[in-house]
Amino acid sequence: MTKYKVAWLPGDGIGIEVMEAARLVLDKVGFKADYIHGDIGWEFWCKEGDAFPQRTIDLLKNSDVSMFGAITSKPVKAAEAELVPELRGKGLVYRSPIVRMRQMFDLYNCLRPCKAFPGNPLNFKEGIDLVIFRENTEDLYCGVEFNTVPQELKDTLLKLSKPFAAFKDVPLEDYAISTKINTKKGCERIIRAAFDFAKKFGRKKVTVVHKANVVRATDGLFLETAKRVAKDYPTIQMDDANIDAMCMWLLKNPFNYDVLVAPNLYGDIVSDLCAQMVGGLGFGCSGNIGDKVSVFEPTHGSAPKYAGMYKCNPIATILAAQMMLDHLGEKDMAARIYHGVAQTVKECKVVTYDMGGKAKTLEVAEEIAKHAMKA
């Protein structure tokens, strides 16, 4: 049996607890790995001025796969104030480790399955089964932003863009610019990932989410690329929808949709909407998948108010672990975990507060492992 090297990054708050739960289940189903702990999160920002230290970056590079819990983030000014005194005033700027790792390792495919487990009291409707492919490196999240706009940029924009004339009298310090950058390669690889998945798993339709009628350059590129790529997949239907309409239609009839693919921002929004339809934060799991490095995580944060209480739902993280096994090709163990979660949800006896239960985080993990072993 293969023994893997797994970078293990619990992070802050309940990240630590839900990762302990996932580890319990992984051990019980017999997954063999060297788990190497990686430092990440608020503690390291405060002590070292870096929430994602170089040693952790190196660990990710040198592992087969990574799992990440959750971290605490704070706005730039509040973050500066919490640095140890000797690091203050040195111009250190807090940046989210997750956004950094996605860009640094080119984890372009954010895969977020949203399937309703039968009997989950939190289901919006029974039978929902959506898979979202969110582009993870470009778009409005590329980090090219200006607070206090440089004069050269303003001059260039006035020269090159007619609509920018509307801003010509605004003082430089009174406006901000965030750029949305999409590339042909970036659009194509996420769209192909969605179609490849649909083909492999017998899915019927890929819906492309955009706002190309208004955001014509970037979203136009995304939609045009999708139309071109779709021709290579004649057995799969392609349709498209504006992000705003998509949110309405998803709520009206989620069964009209199957696989969704979207640029970064719309993918972020629509995947949270879909996660809520199948149980909310306790069920939202995701893979950040690149060609060399992949990181699996629950989508919730560190929930500081519950930190240390072991009362939060570990299912999102256990499903992230299941996705990790699937990614590694350990299909049998992945299927066991999936069954364990399904059975635990169906019985709804040993579940956390968000599902109306009283069980603790690790009790739910034990229950899932018990059912997984019977599968």
Residues in contact with Mg ion by the rule CB under 5 A: 268
Nearest approach in angstroms of CB 299 to Mg ion is 6
According to DSSP, the residues that pair with 109 across neighbouring strands are 135, 289
- Cα 159 to the chain's mean position, in Å? 38
Does 300 interact with ligand NAI (rule: CB under 6 A)?
yes
Region of 153-161, 165-173, 224-232, 294-302 interacting with ligand NAI (CB under 6 A)? 294-302
271 binds, among ligand NAI, Mg ion, none (CB under 5 to 8 A by kind): none
SS (H, E, C) the chain: CCCEEEEEEEECCHHHHHHHHHHHHHHHCCCCEEEEECCCCHHHHHHHCCCCCHHHHHHHHCCCEEEEEECCCCCHHHHHHCCCHHHCCCCCCCCCHHHHHHHHCCCCEEEEEEECCCCCCCECCCCCEEEEEEECCCECCCCCEEECCCHHHHHHHHHHCCHHHHHCCCCHHHCEEECCECCHHHHHHHHHHHHHHHHHCCCCEEEEEECCCCCCCHHHHHHHHHHHHHCCCCCCEEEEEEHHHHHHHHHHCHHHCCEEEECHHHHHHHHHHHHHHECHHHCCEEEEECCCCEEEEECCCCCHHHCCCCCCCCHHHHHHHHHHHHHHCCHHHHHHHHHHHHHHHHHCCCCCHHHCCCCCHHHHHHHHHHHHHHC
Query: Dihedral of the CA atoms 267, 270, 273, 277 (nearest 10)?
Result: -100
Per CB under 6 A, contacts with ligand NAI among 143-202 are none
Among the listed residues 302, 322, 343, 344, the single contact to ligand NAI using CB under 6 A: 302
Residue 270 or 315 with smaller CB distance to Mg ion: 270
**Nearest-CB residue for ligand NAI:** 301
Q: Which of 186, 185, 229, 187 is nearest to 206 (CA)?
A: 229
316 binds, among Mg ion, ligand NAI, none (CB under 5 to 8 A by kind): ligand NAI
Per CB under 6 A, contacts with ligand NAI among 327-366 are 352, 354
Per CB under 6 A, contacts with ligand NAI among 81-110 are 98
Q: Which of 291, 285, 290, 109 is nearest to 195 (CA)?
A: 109
275 binds, among Mg ion, ligand NAI, none (CB under 5 to 8 A by kind): none
Nearest approach in angstroms of CB 43 to Mg ion is 23
Residue 25 or 230 with smaller CB distance to ligand NAI: 25
343 binds, among ligand NAI, Mg ion, none (CB under 5 to 8 A by kind): none
Residue 72 or 294 with smaller CB distance to ligand NAI: 72
Residue 132 or 149 with smaller CB distance to ligand NAI: 132
295 binds, among Mg ion, ligand NAI, none (CB under 5 to 8 A by kind): none
**Count of residues of this chain found to bind ligand NAI when the rule CB under 6 A is applied:** 19
354 binds, among Mg ion, ligand NAI, none (CB under 5 to 8 A by kind): ligand NAI
Does 281 interact with ligand NAI (rule: CB under 6 A)?
yes
Does 295 interact with ligand NAI (rule: CB under 6 A)?
no
Nearest approach in angstroms of CB 274 to Mg ion is 12
Among the listed residues 263, 282, 287, 340, the single contact to ligand NAI using CB under 6 A: 282
268 binds, among Mg ion, ligand NAI, none (CB under 5 to 8 A by kind): Mg ion
Per CB under 6 A, contacts with ligand NAI among 18-77 are 18, 70-73
For ligand NAI, the binding residues (CB under 6 A) are: 18, 70-73, 98, 281-282, 300-305, 312-313, 316, 352, 354
